Structure 1
Amino acid sequence: MTAFVSRFCVGGDGPAIAIKDSIDIAGYPTVAGSRALRHAAPAAEHADVVARLLDAGWSIVGKTTMHELAFGISGINDFAGTPVNAQAPDRIPGGSSSGSAAAVAAGEVRIALGTDTGGSIRMPAACCGVAGLKPTFGRVSRRGAHPARSSLDCVGPFADSVDGIVAAMAVIAPDFDASQARDSGKTFRIGLLDDVLADPAIVDAVASALRKAGFTTQRVRLDGMGAAYQAGMQVINFETWAAFGHLTGAGALQPDVEQRLLAASATRRDDLDRAEAVRRAFTAQVDAVLYEVDVIVLPTLPELPPLLSAVREGRSILALTTLVRPYNLSGHPALTLPVPVADVPIKAGLQLVGRKGGDETLCAIASRIERAIASGGVAQ
């Protein structure tokens, strides 16, 4: 099934880009993949990121499908459509920005925008074998993105190469330095996260990609990952219930989203207060590690994308976000890049986490890794 819910052409003759259907485009309804919002009025004005793209002469070619209300990670949506994962059609495309990732993977567009509240750019990018960036929280305007209020969510790009990520960021983040984001041969200190609970083949694939790029690494630890994952869940539950809880009870939501929202309604203010304490502690811990290294490297997902059939039959996949969700809580930028896995046709995701405001550094390091993988050895 196509990754698009609607196709049109707005803008100039510059690069083509697709936009997730939780981001406003004037004259088109923002439905967020939900039957409950199918009668939404067309947006009155462009989201800030859309306005910046159009002002720069880019061409918006349509809106992409998504997991309903951006509150799910499989990408399965029987109302708006479940896009096909081009690198593994029998596996989930990932969510919630499923259509944006799938459109890039299928070659329908080279660049797309999504949103990431708990891994919703990085997870589908890793599932579909493309690059994706969750920028530093607050660096890219969320005005015109839904839900309107979030302490976790970021608008960011998918692309078929790191160069596409850089091109998009140079437009949607006015202070982004594209020249700094392109690898200049600078020496970087690489921290490889220790004791990661992930498939050993994926851990090996990440380490192999770093070696191919000529990086030496040092081991680093983040003992607060588990607590940050749980706290991130509390925050997203509290904020999503506040935004969309009123849509429950009418029979218009997918069963998985309805159940998840109703469960989220049990999150109380004291739960949120405890989560905020974890946020402060984990943020400080990540900052401390990033004082010693320029970037933290780990797998994006702990395993390869699960089979669609297994997820439809009820397999729980929430643990797929254990390595991505903590960095929504802390607000650090995180980029995922596809890397080959030995003896497997499906690529996994290598995740880079950097200092706040250091999105350009992530792109420069990712570019070097990307070139090394393409050439089969150390990037030149």
Structure 2
Amino acid sequence: MQSIRDRLEIILSRLANRAGNEKVYTKLYAGAARAAADASDARRKAGIGLGPLDGRVVSVKDLFDVAGEPTTAGSLIRAGAVPATRDAAIVQRLRQAGAVILGKTNMTEFAFTAIGDNLHYGTPGNAADPSLIPGGSSSGAGVAVGEGTSEISIGSDTGGSVRIPAALNGVVGFKPTARRVPLAGAFPLSMTLDSIGPLARSVADCAIADAIMAGQEPAVLQPITLAGLRVGIPRGVLFGDTQAEVAGAFETCIDRISQAGARAADLSIDDLIAEMRLATRRGTIASMEGAEVHADWLKSDTSVPVDPHVTGPLSRALAIPASAYIRTIRRRGELVAAMAERLEAVDVLALPTVPMVAPSIAAMAGDEALRDSTEGLLLRNTQVGNQFDLCAISLPMPGTKLPAGLMLVGKHGDDHRLLRIAAAVETLLGR
């Protein structure tokens, strides 16, 4: 049986071979990871273990505090920030569970955009084809799992930032119900919408990491029987502009889920989406709350370069009055309740995670209008989960040449049941 240290060394040598052009990781903890791997091997030899995460190679997004160093959150502005005095809550929990934390993964600046590019630390190439975008904002997290340089990556998801890179890199990405996992020590974007979730090769691995981060005992994930499961398909605005190959693969998935005995039926939520768009017309919740986080440097004349795709929306949101923000939050509360009522008719929603496969990095860099429209499409389906306070998971969807995702959306707080449903769907589609 291969030792954990040996498995780690294989990954470290891969990363060493490309050290001059590393874009997936922004920081490696080789010494600490080796020590953690050796400790895990020693426990295994002695017949004692810390649970299912013991000895697993894990990476964390560059917005989680690691004691003794600044948390840069993908930005140069934060490079000289005061070092963190302690690990983020989830980093502590992962370490206690025996995880071998290999390093910090690259991300879009301040977790703000969905393409996955970073002007300062480079853009990680997609795991399927390095000329393609990785998706964001947890860009390095998606690529690391896709290419096998970490077994589990921890990301954050404010509008789709775990599920978009999961879909585009062909891995599983889980966004829990907000506030299920503590945000302490995670650099914020939106206190209302931020969620912390794992990316991995399997639903089971996501479930283990999620349980540990949520402070729960990880249990063996029992897949649910699909017979009689009520699957709602929110056809309408969330299905527009979907690439033919992605749409075809989705319909094939739904056919297979139906053949397994699930009852799939259309469930319109277009009216609620339209109301949410109306409520956030002056400014999105993420941009308004993000503007508060970044107000100090936005108001000053900083000489440090910041991605204009980040400064533009944040600066505009800074000018929105508090009354408009409060009204938006109150309206969101009403719409969250309306969505909860609507979803009583189903067990889960199913739709493509994103309506496309990954476009090229060069195309995004060369055409501003195309970049904007692509970003809107990447966020369109995933952000529904955040806006309406739901949990959601993206599974690799068979039947496309490049990776694409099938998204299952569960009710608020229904995280464990959603993972059990996803495990059953994963098995079905893997056959």
Say whether the fold is shared (TM-score over 0.5). yes
300, 303, 309: which one pairs with 1:251?
303
Question: Is 1:30 aligned to residue 82 of structure 2?
Answer: no
Which residue identity lines up with residue 155 of structure 2 in the other structure? G
Unpaired segments ≥5 residues, structure 1: 376-380
Local SS of the residue matching 1:347: coil
Local SS of the residue matching 2:403: strand
Local SS of the residue matching 1:17: strand
The offset of 1:236, in angstroms, is: 0.8
Question: Residue in 2 aligned with 1:219?
Answer: 266
The offset of 1:254, in angstroms, is: 2.0
Question: Is 1:128 aligned to residue 128 of structure 2?
Answer: no
Question: TM-score normalized by structure 1?
Answer: 0.92
1-structure distance, mates of 2:397, 2:217: 26
The offset of 1:37, in angstroms, is: 0.8
Question: Is 1:237 aligned to residue 287 of structure 2?
Answer: yes
390, 398, 408: which one pairs with 1:352?
408
Which residue identity lines up with residue 234 of structure 1 in the other structure? T
May I ask how many residue pairs the two structures share in their alignment?
372
Question: Residue in 1 aligned with 2:429?
Answer: 373
Question: Is 1:2 aligned to residue 60 of structure 2?
Answer: no
Question: Residue in 1 aligned with 2:222?
Answer: 182
Paired residues for 1:284-323 under 5 Å: 284-313=337-366, 314=368, 315=370, 316=372, 317-319=374-376, 320-323=378-381
After the TM superposition, which parts of structure 1 deviate over 6 Å for at least 4 consecutive aligned residues?
none
2-structure distance, mates of 1:131, 1:356: 20
Question: Residue in 1 aligned with 2:8?
Answer: none
1-structure distance, mates of 2:148, 2:412: 31
The offset of 1:40, in angstroms, is: 1.9
Question: Residue in 2 aligned with 1:193?
Answer: 234
Verify the 8 A CA contact 1:210 1:369 in the aligned structure 2: no
Verify the 8 A CA contact 2:276 2:335 in the aligned structure 1: yes
Verify the 8 A CA contact 1:123 1:301 in the aligned structure 2: yes
Question: Is 1:61 aligned to residue 102 of structure 2?
Answer: yes
Q: Which has the higher strand share?
A: 1
Once superposed, what is the RMSD of the aligned Cα atoms?
Answer: 2.0
The offset of 1:286, in angstroms, is: 2.2
The offset of 1:163, in angstroms, is: 1.5
| Offset from partner CA, 1:142-181 (integer Å, 9 cap, x none) | 11111286111011100111111012112111246634x4
Question: Is 1:19 aligned to residue 60 of structure 2?
Answer: yes
Local SS of the residue matching 1:36: coil
Query: What fraction of aligned residue pairs are identical, expressed as a percent?
Result: 33
Q: Which moved more, 1:134-143 or 1:185-194?
A: 185-194
Verify the 8 A CA contact 1:234 1:267 in the aligned structure 2: no
Q: Which moved more, 1:329-338 or 1:59-68?
A: 329-338
Verify the 8 A CA contact 1:121 1:158 in the aligned structure 2: yes
| Offset from partner CA, 1:73-125 (integer Å, 9 cap, x none) | 11111212211111132221111111111111111111010001111111111
1-structure distance, mates of 2:148, 2:71: 24
Question: Is 1:78 aligned to residue 119 of structure 2?
Answer: yes
Q: Which has the higher helix share?
A: 2
Choose 1 or 2 for highest CA Rg.
2
Change (3 A) 1:162 1:231: farther
2-structure distance, mates of 1:276, 1:211: 38
2-structure distance, mates of 1:292, 1:275: 27
The offset of 1:198, in angstroms, is: 4.0
Local SS of the residue matching 2:160: coil
2-structure distance, mates of 1:148, 1:262: 14
Which residue identity lines up with residue 345 of structure 2 in the other structure? E
The offset of 1:290, in angstroms, is: 2.3
Paired residues for 1:67-146 under 5 Å: 67-146=108-187
| Offset from partner CA, 1:222-255 (integer Å, 9 cap, x none) | 1212443564652111110100132333132123
Verify the 8 A CA contact 1:183 1:368 in the aligned structure 2: yes
1-structure distance, mates of 2:173, 2:341: 25
1-structure distance, mates of 2:277, 2:426: 28
Question: Is 1:210 aligned to residue 254 of structure 2?
Answer: yes
Change (3 A) 1:216 1:347: farther
The offset of 1:47, in angstroms, is: 0.9
Local SS of the residue matching 1:96: coil
